[in-house]
C-alpha cells in the first residue's frame, strides 16, 4: 500500500505536510505536477535530500516557496546554467559569458547599477540617474490579452519604482499573428490574433494612461508564429536623484508590504511562464491571470516617491512573479540576512486563503520596503496619507533562514543558502542549418506598386490608430513624439525632457526584426542592436545603453538553445564593438504552442542622451531645395526583407553588420547632427531606401527627386529593386540644407556617403534608377494613404 | 497684486496625474502653485486662502461610475460651503480634461442658474469611440466674459492636444437648442473645435475629435470665472511641446496654451 | 430611545444605468460590429452598467427613495442616462 502523500496538519488553517521523504522518483514528479511546482526530477531529488537531512517532511508552503524561487522566471536557470556545444565547448552561464561580459569589459563610469537590481541605472547628469527596464508578459497575455498586457505594464512600472525611480515613460513592443488569420485554422485554446491585438493594445493603454505615464515608443510586428505565442514587451523608464538610491537593509529592519490586498489572483503565474502553452492552458491557467488596478499603483507611486525623498526606507523591491516569496527572499538574500514573516498579517481581499497561497500570490500593485524601526511610524503615515494600505509583516534577521509563521505556527523554515542554490542545469545545444535558399526571379516592372504594397503591409504601415490610444504627452515633457511632422510620420525614437530646469534629454528607441531570426539568430541580434542604435542616433542620441529581451522557444530543445546562444554571442560582439553596454535584460523562454515555437525574437531597447533637446532631428522633410544624402553602404542583402516577403520568399542573404563601417557611419552622423547641419534624418530599415524616402516625403509633405546612379556600394548591385529594397544595416537618409553642404561633408569624412538628390516642392516622390530613368514615381497623397490604410488614425 | 502673492491650489486625488505640469505652468508665470490632496484640503480647511482653484487632468478615482463624477461629489460633500463661497467671491476655477468633467458633474458648469444640484451637461463617450491623444485646432469664441481667455482675441485659432476617452460635450437632447442659445447669449461659449483655418469642424473627425455637440471644447459659467476645457493647455505651453516644432530652426519659446494661464493670472493680479 | 422602535431591514438594490433612447452608444455599436464580424447578426447592442447596492432602511419605500436619490446624484447623469432600480429584501 502506498503512503499518503499529502497530510493535513492539525491547525486552524489549511496546512499540509508533503510526504517527500518516502516518495520515489515517480511520486516526486507527481508532486511537482500536482502542486504546480514546475520543478524537474533533479530539482525534486535535491529538495528531498535536503529534507532527509532535516529529518522531516516539508510543508506545502516550503515546497511552493522553492518552486517559485527556483522557477525559470525568477532564477533564469537557462541563462545561468551550463551549455555544451557539439564541438565540446562548455559555456558556463550564457549571461556571464556574453551579456554581462560586454558591460563588464566596457566598464563605463556612467553605468551606476547594472543587472543587479530591478532595473538598470545609468547617469543622466551630475545628480540625476535614469533607470530602465523592459519585461515580457507573453503567457498571461495569451490567456487574457487585456489583463495580461495591463499587468505587464503595471509590473514593469513597479520594477522602476523598485529602484526608487519615478517612472516617466513607457515603451511597448508587441508581436501578433496575422490579423487576417483563418479562423478555421485556429487550434482550440488559441485566441484569434485580432482578439488578442485589441485586448493587448487596450490593456497597455489602460494602465499607462491611468497612471499618467506617457507611452512614447514602441513597435508592432506581425509574424505567423506569434499567433500561438503573442509577444508583449513592456518597458518603463524613470528618473531618480542619485543620492536617494538607498539599498542598505540590515537585520532588524521591518518588512513593510504596501499597496493592493492579496488575493488568489495570479497563483502560479511564475511556474506557468516556465511551461509551454498547451490546449489546456486556458482552463487550468485562468487563475494565473492577475487583475489590474492602475489607480492603486498611482497612489502607491506617490507614497513611494515621498518615502524616497525623505530617505525613510533602507531598501525596496517590487512584488512581481512569485509574489511575496520572491520579494522577501530577494530582500533577505541581497543583504545577507534571513527573514521572518507573519503571514496572517498580510491584508487579504477575502478570508481563508491558505498560507502557501498568500506567500506566492501575484496580486498586483504591491511593493515591499524595508524600514528601520525608528522610521516605521513615519513611513506608515505616508502610506496612509495617500490612501495606501501598508502593513509591517515581519523583519530581516541575522539567522540565515527564511521563517514563515501563521498565527504563531511555523509554516516554513528553510535555510537561505539552500533556497538560493538550486541545482545547476546542463543543457546541450545543436546548430540548425539555414532552411532557406536565395530566390531567383527577374526584376519586376512596376516598382512603384511594390512600394505602395510595402507601405501598406502590416509591419511597415502606420500604427497611428494604436499610438493615439496611448497618451504620449502626459507630463508635458515629450519633445519628439512617436508621430512627427505635419502628417504624423514614424519617428525613429522618442525624446523626453525629464527635468524642468534643463534642456538635457533622454532618447528612447528600439530594434526588432524576427524575420531575420528565421534565417540566422546571430545576424538578427546584430541587426537589432544596429537598428536600435541607429534609430537613437538619427534623432540626436549619444552615449547609448542597451537592454536585451529574448523571446525564445523551449530551451529543452537543443536547436532553440543553439540559436539563443548564437544571439547571445552577437550581443557580446556588437555591444562591445559599438561600446553600448547592456544595463538590464530579461528572457522569456518556453514560448511554444500547438502551432509551434515562437520565431526567435530579440528586442533591443536603446537609451541615449541628447545634450540639448532643441537640437532634436525629426524624420520629416523640412524644406524644398535641400540636399538628400544616403549614408552607409548598400549591399545585396534581402534575406528576411519585407520585399522578399511581399514576393513570397524569405531568402538567406540576411543583412549583416560590418562593425567598423557601422561605427564610422554612426559616429559621423552624430557629429553632423551635433554640428547642426542635419534638418531631417531617417534610418533605413524594413522596406529599405524606397520606404524610408517615401516616409520622409509624405510626413513632411514635400517631394523628393533622387537617383540611384550614385549610391555608396562596395559590391556592385545591378538591379534597381535590390538597391531600393535591400535592408542593409547602418544606413541613413539625411536632409541637408545647401548652405550646410560643406560642413556636412566635412563631418562625414571617412564614411561612405553620397548626395543622391534634392527635396522638391512638387508633392511627388521620384526615384531614378541605375540608368537614370524613373523607377518610382508616386504622389505623396497616394503613398500616405497606402501607409495609413491599415491602421490610420 | 504681486504675482508671487497669488496662490493657486491644484487639487489631486488618487488617479489625478497632470498636476505637476499644471503646477509648472503657473509657476512659470511667477504664481505660487501648490498641489494638494483633497483630504488635505478638507482637513486643513483653508480652501479660501487660495486665489485660483484647479482641477487638473487625469483619471480621478479611476474614472469609475463616470469620468469626474466621484471627485465632483466627493469634493462637494467635503467642501460644499467653501466651494460655494469660492465661486461666489468670483475666484477663478479651472478644469482641464478630467477637471472639466469634474466641473460639469459638480454642476459648476454651465451653471445657468448658479451651481446646479444635478449635472446640466455631460461629457459622454467619444464618437468615434476610444481614448485619443492628438493635437486639435480650437477657435476662441468668447467675447470677453471668460477670465481665462482675456488675452486671446476672439476668433483666434489655437493649437492644443487632447487626450481623453470621454469628451463628447452634450446638453439634454430635448433642450440642446435652447441650452446652446443660452450659452451663446450669456457669452459662456469659449472654445470650439475647428480646422486649420478656423472653420467650424462641422462634427467631422478628426477636426471634431470626439463628436461634441456644436464642436464645444470649452465653456465657462455665466460670470466667466469658472472655466473647463477638454484640451490640455499645460501641454501646449512651450514651443518644444508642439508636434511639428522641428520644422523650424528652433522651437519658439512659448505657445498657445500659455495664454490661458497668463489671462487668469493677469486677471487675479489686477483684481487683488 | 427611538431606535428601539425602528426595525432596520436589509435590502439589495439592483441599479441598471443605461443611455437614454436616441443617444449614440459607440460602445454598443462597436460591440455589435464585432459580433457581426463573428457572423452573429445582432440588430443593435446597448451597453450599460449594473450596480448592486446592499443597504439598510426602515422600509422598502425608504430604501427605494434612498436609492433613487443615489442614482440621481451619482450613478446616473440625467443629461444622458436612464436608470432602473429593482429592490428586494436580502438576508
Question: B181: domain CATH number?
Answer: 3.40.50.880
Instruction: Give the pLDDT confidence of B64-109 residue by residue, as tens digits.
Output: 999 999 999 999 999 999 999 999 999 999 999 999 999 999 999 9
Mean pLDDT for all residues in chain A: 94
Beta carbons of A340 and A328 less than 8 angstroms apart = no
* A448 SS3 class: helix
Picking from A422, A453, A472, the residue at the C-terminal end of a domain is A422
Distance CA C1, CA C4 (A): 6
Sign for the CA dihedral angle at C17, C23, C28, C32 comes to positive
Give chain C's domains with CATH numbers: 2-89 (3.30.1280.10)
Distance in Å, alpha carbon of B102 to nearest chain C alpha carbon = 12
Percentage with pLDDT > 70 across chain A = 96
Task: Say which residue the cell 452598467 belongs to.
Answer: C49
Chain B partners within 8 Å of A497 (Cβ) = 240
Q: How many domains does chain B have?
A: 1
Instruction: Find the CATH number of the domain harbouring A8.
Output: 3.90.650.10
pLDDT at C1: 44
CB pairs under 8 A between A and B: 107
Active site residues of A: 73, 137
For chain B, the distance separating the N- and C-terminal CA atoms, rounded to the nearest angstrom, is 5
Q: Please give the distance of CA B244 from its chain centroid, rounded to a whole number.
A: 24
Question: Of A379, A407, A422, which residue sits at a domain end?
Answer: A422
pLDDT digits (tens, 9 = 90+) for A373-430: 999 999 999 999 999 999 999 999 999 999 999 999 999 999 999 999 999 889 999 9
Contact by Cβ (8 Å): A389, A347 = yes
Look at residues A369, A402, A422 and tell me which one is the last residue of a structural domain: A422
> CA-to-CA distance for B212 and B44, rounded, in angstroms?
38
Flag if C74 and B129 touch (Cβ within 8 Å). Answer: no
Residue A710 structural domain = 617-793
pTM: predicted TM-score of the whole model, two decimal places: 0.94
| A648 CB-near residues (< 8 Å, 6+ apart) | none
| Residue A747 covered by a domain | yes
Report the mean per-residue pLDDT for chain B.
Answer: 96
pLDDT surpasses 90 at A689: yes
Instruction: Judge: B119–C77 Cβ closer than 8 Å, yes or no.
Output: yes
Bridge partners, A602 (sequence order): A550
User: Is B97's Cβ below 8 Å from some Cβ in A?
Assistant: no
- Smallest Cα–Cα separation from A159: which of A122, A133, A128, A124? A133
What percentage of residues in chain C have a pLDDT greater than 90?
A: 58
Pick from B18, B134, B251: CB nearest A468: B134
pLDDT on residue A2 = 54
Alpha-helix runs per DSSP H in B106-164: none
Question: Is there a contact between B102 and B122 (Cβ–Cβ < 8 Å)?
Answer: no
Q: Is residue A176 part of a domain?
A: no
Rounded to the nearest angstrom, the minimum Cα separation between B202 and chain A is: 19
ipTM of the complex: 0.96
Decide if pLDDT at A113 tops 60.
yes
C-alpha cell of residue B186: 450669456
Nearest to B127 among C24, C78, C79 (CB): C24
Chain B interface disruption, residue of C18, C80, C81, most B CBs within 10 A? C80
List all residues 6 or more positions away from B224 whose beta carbon is below 8 Å from its beta carbon: B142, B145, B146, B147, B187, B188
Domain span including residue B223: 3-271
Total of domains in chain A = 2
Q: Which chain A residues are closer than 8 Å to B131 by Cβ?
A: 205, 209, 468-471
Tens digit of each residue's pLDDT (9 = 90 or more) over A757-778: 999 999 999 999 999 999 999 9
- The position carrying cell 465657462 is B220
A664 belongs to a structural domain: yes
**Across A151-180, average pLDDT:** 97
Q: What H or E segment, with its residue span, contains residue B49?
A: none
Confidence of residue A284 (pLDDT cuts 50, 70, 90): very low
Kindly determine whether residue C79 and residue B69, on different chains, have CB atoms separated by under 8 Å. Answer: no
CB contacts under 8 A, B 18-57 vs C, are none
Residue A500 inside a domain? The answer is no
- Write down the pLDDT at residue A279: 57
Amino acid at each position: 500500500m502506498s503512503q499518503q502523500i499529502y497530510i493535513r496538519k492539525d491547525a486552524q488553517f489549511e496546512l499540509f505536510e508533503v510526504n517527500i521523504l518516502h516518495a520515489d522518483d515517480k511520486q516526486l514528479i507527481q508532486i511537482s505536477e500536482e502542486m504546480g511546482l514546475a520543478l524537474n526530477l533533479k530539482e525534486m531529488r535535491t529538495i528531498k535530500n535536503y529534507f532527509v537531512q532535516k529529518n522531516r517532511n516539508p510543508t506545502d508552503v516550503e515546497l511552493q516557496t522553492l518552486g517559485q524561487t527556483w522557477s525559470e522566471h525568477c532564477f533564469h536557470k537557462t541563462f545561468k546554467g551550463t551549455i555544451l556545444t557539439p564541438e565540446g565547448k562548455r559555456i558556463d552561464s550564457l549571461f556571464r559569458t556574453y551579456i554581462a561580459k560586454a558591460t563588464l569589459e566596457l566598464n563605463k563610469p556612467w553605468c551606476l547599477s547594472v543587472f543587479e537590481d530591478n532595473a538598470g541605472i545609468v547617469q543622466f547628469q551630475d545628480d540625476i540617474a535614469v533607470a530602465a527596464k523592459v519585461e515580457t508578459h507573453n503567457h498571461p497575455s495569451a490567456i487574457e490579452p487585456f489583463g495580461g498586457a495591463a499587468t505587464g505594464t503595471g509590473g514593469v512600472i513597479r520594477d522602476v519604482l523598485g529602484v526608487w525611480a519615478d517612472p516617466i515613460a513607457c515603451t511597448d513592443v508587441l508581436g501578433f499573428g496575422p490579423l487576417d488569420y483563418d479562423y478555421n485554422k485556429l487550434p482550440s485554446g488559441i485566441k484569434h490574433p485580432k482578439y488578442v491585438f485589441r485586448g493587448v493594445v487596450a490593456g497597455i493603454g489602460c494602465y499607462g494612461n491611468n497612471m499618467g505615464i506617457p507611452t512614447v515608443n514602441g513597435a508592432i510586428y506581425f509574424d505567423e508564429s506569434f499567433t500561438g505565442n503573442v509577444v508583449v514587451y513592456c518597458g518603463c523608464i524613470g528618473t531618480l536623484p542619485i543620492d536617494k538610491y538607498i539599498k542598505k537593509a540590515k537585520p532588524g529592519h521591518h518588512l513593510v508590504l504596501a499597496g493592493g490586498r492579496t488575493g488568489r489572483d495570479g497563483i502560479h503565474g511564475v511556474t506557468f511562464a516556465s511551461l509551454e502553452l498547451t490546449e489546456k492552458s486556458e482552463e487550468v491557467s485562468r487563475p494565473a491571470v492577475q487583475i489590474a488596478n492602475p489607480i492603486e499603483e498611482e497612489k502607491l507611486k506617490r507614497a513611494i516617491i515621498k518615502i524616497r525623498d525623505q530617505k525613510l526606507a533602507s531598501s525596496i523591491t517590487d512584488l512581481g512573479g512569485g509574489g511575496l516569496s520572491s520579494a522577501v527572499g530577494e530582500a533577505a538574500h541581497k543583504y545577507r540576512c534571513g527573514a521572518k514573516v507573519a503571514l496572517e498579517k498580510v491584508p487579504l481581499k477575502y478570508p481563508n486563503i491558505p498560507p502557501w497561497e498568500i506567500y506566492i500570490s501575484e496580486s498586483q500593485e504591491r511593493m515591499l520596503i524595508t524600514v528601520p524601526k525608528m522610521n516605521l511610524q513615519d513611513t506608515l503615515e505616508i502610506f496612509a496619507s495617500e490612501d495606501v494600505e501598508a502593513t509591517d509583516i515581519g523583519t530581516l534577521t541575522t539567522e540565515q533562514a527564511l521563517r514563515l509563521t501563521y498565527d504563531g505556527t511555523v509554516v516554513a523554515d528553510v535555510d537561505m543558502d539552500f533556497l538560493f542554490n538550486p541545482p545547476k542545469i546542463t543543457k546541450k545545444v545543436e546548430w540548425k542549418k539555414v532552411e532557406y535558399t536565395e530566390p531567383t526571379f527577374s526584376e519586376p516592372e512596376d516598382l512603384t506598386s511594390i512600394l505602395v504594397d510595402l507601405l501598406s503591409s502590416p509591419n511597415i504601415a502606420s500604427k497611428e490608430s494604436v499610438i493615439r490610444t496611448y497618451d504620449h504627452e502626459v507630463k508635458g515633457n515629450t519633445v519628439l513624439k512617436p508621430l512627427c511632422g505635419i502628417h504624423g510620420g514614424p519617428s525613429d525614437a522618442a525624446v523626453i525632457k525629464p527635468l524642468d530646469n534643463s534642456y538635457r534629454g533622454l532618447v528612447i528607441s528600439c530594434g526588432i526584426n524576427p524575420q531575420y531570426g528565421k534565417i540566422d539568430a546571430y545576424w538578427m541580434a546584430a541587426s537589432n542592436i544596429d537598428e536600435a542604435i541607429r534609430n537613437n542616433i538619427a534623432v540626436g542620441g549619444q552615449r547609448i545603453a542597451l537592454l536585451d529581451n529574448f523571446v525564445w522557444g523551449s530551451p529543452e530543445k537543443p536547436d532553440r538553445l543553439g540559436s539563443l546562444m548564437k544571439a547571445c554571442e552577437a550581443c557580446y560582439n556588437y555591444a562591445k564593438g559599438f561600446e553600448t553596454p547592456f544595463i538590464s535584460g530579461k528572457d522569456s523562454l518556453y514560448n511554444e504552442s500547438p502551432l509551434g515555437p515562437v520565431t526567435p525574437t530579440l528586442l533591443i531597447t536603446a537609451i541615449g542622451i541628447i545634450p540639448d533637446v532643441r537640437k532634436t532631428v525629426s524624420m520629416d522633410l523640412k524644406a524644398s531645395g535641400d540636399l538628400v544624402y544616403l549614408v552607409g553602404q548598400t549591399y545585396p542583402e534581402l534575406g528576411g526583407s519585407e520585399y522578399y516577403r511581399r514576393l513570397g520568399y524569405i531568402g538567406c542573404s540576411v543583412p549583416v553588420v560590418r562593425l567598423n563601417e557601422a561605427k564610422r557611419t554612426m559616429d559621423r552622423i552624430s557629429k553632423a547632427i551635433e554640428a547642426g547641419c542635419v534638418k531631417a534624418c531617417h534610418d533605413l530599415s524594413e522596406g529599405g531606401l524606397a520606404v524610408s524616402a517615401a516616409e520622409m516625403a509624405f510626413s513632411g509633405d514635400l517631394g523628393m527627386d533622387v537617383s540611384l546612379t550614385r549610391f555608396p556600394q562596395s559590391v556592385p548591385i545591378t538591379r534597381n529593386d535590390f538597391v531600393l529594397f535591400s535592408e542593409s544595416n547602418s544606413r541613413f537618409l539625411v536632409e541637408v540644407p545647401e548652405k550646410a553642404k560643406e560642413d556636412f561633408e566635412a563631418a562625414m569624412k571617412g564614411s561612405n556617403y553620397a548626395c543622391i538628390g534634392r527635396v522638391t516642392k512638387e508633392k511627388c516622390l521620384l526615384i531614378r534608377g541605375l540608368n537614370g530613368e524613373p523607377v518610382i514615381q508616386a504622389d505623396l497623397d497616394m503613398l500616405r494613404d497606402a501607409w495609413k490604410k491599415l491602421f490610420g488614425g | 497684486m504681486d504675482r508671487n502673492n497669488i496662490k493657486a491650489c491644484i487639487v489631486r486625488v488618487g488617479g489625478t496625474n497632470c498636476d505637476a505640469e499644471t503646477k509648472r505652468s503657473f509657476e512659470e508665470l511667477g504664481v505660487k502653485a501648490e498641489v494638494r490632496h483633497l483630504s488635505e484640503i478638507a482637513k486643513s480647511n483653508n480652501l479660501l486662502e487660495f486665489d485660483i482653484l484647479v482641477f487638473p487632468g487625469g483619471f480621478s478615482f479611476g474614472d469609475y461610475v463616470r469620468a469626474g463624477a466621484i471627485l465632483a461629489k466627493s469634493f462637494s460633500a467635503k467642501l460644499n460651503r467653501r466651494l460655494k463661497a469660492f465661486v461666489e467671491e468670483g475666484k477663478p476655477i479651472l478644469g482641464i480634461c478630467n477637471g472639466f468633467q469634474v466641473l460639469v458633474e459638480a454642476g459648476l458648469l454651465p451653471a445657468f442658474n448658479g451651481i446646479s444640484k444635478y449635472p446640466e451637461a455631460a461629457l459622454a463617450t467619444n464618437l468615434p469611440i476610444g481614448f485619443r491623444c492628438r493635437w486639435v485646432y480650437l477657435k476662441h469664441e468668447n467675447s470677453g466674459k471668460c477670465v481665462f481667455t482675456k488675452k486671446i482675441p476672439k476668433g483666434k485659432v489655437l493649437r492644443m492636444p487632447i487626450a481623453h476617452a470621454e469628451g463628447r460635450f452634450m446638453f439634454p437632447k430635448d433642450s440642446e437648442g435652447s441650452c446652446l442659445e443660452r450659452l451663446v447669449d450669456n457669452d459662456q461659449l469659449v472654445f470650439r473645435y475647428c480646422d486649420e483655418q478656423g472653420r467650424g469642424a462641422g462634427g467631422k473627425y478628426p477636426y471634431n475629435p470626439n463628436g461634441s455637440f456644436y464642436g464645444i471644447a470649452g465653456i465657462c459659467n455665466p460670470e466667466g470665472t469658472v472655466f473647463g476645457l477638454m484640451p490640455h493647455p499645460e501641454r501646449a505651453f512651450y514651443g518644444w511641446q508642439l508636434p511639428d516644432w522641428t520644422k523650424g530652426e528652433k522651437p519658439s519659446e512659448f505657445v498657445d496654451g500659455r495664454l490661458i494661464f497668463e489671462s487668469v493670472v493677469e486677471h487675479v493680479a489686477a483684481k487683488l | 430611545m427611538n431606535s428601539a422602535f425602528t426595525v432596520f431591514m436589509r435590502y439589495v438594490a439592483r441599479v441598471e444605468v443605461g443611455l437614454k433612447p436616441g443617444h449614440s452608444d459607440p460602445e454598443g455599436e462597436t460591440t455589435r460590429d464585432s459580433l457581426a464580424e463573428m457572423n452573429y447578426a445582432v440588430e443593435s447592442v446597448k451597453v450599460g452598467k449594473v450596480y448592486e447596492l446592499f443597504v439598510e432602511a426602515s422600509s422598502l419605500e425608504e430604501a427605494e427613495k434612498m436609492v433613487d436619490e443615489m442614482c440621481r446624484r451619482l450613478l446616473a447623469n440625467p443629461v444622458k442616462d436612464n436608470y432602473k432600480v429593482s429592490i428586494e429584501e436580502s438576508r
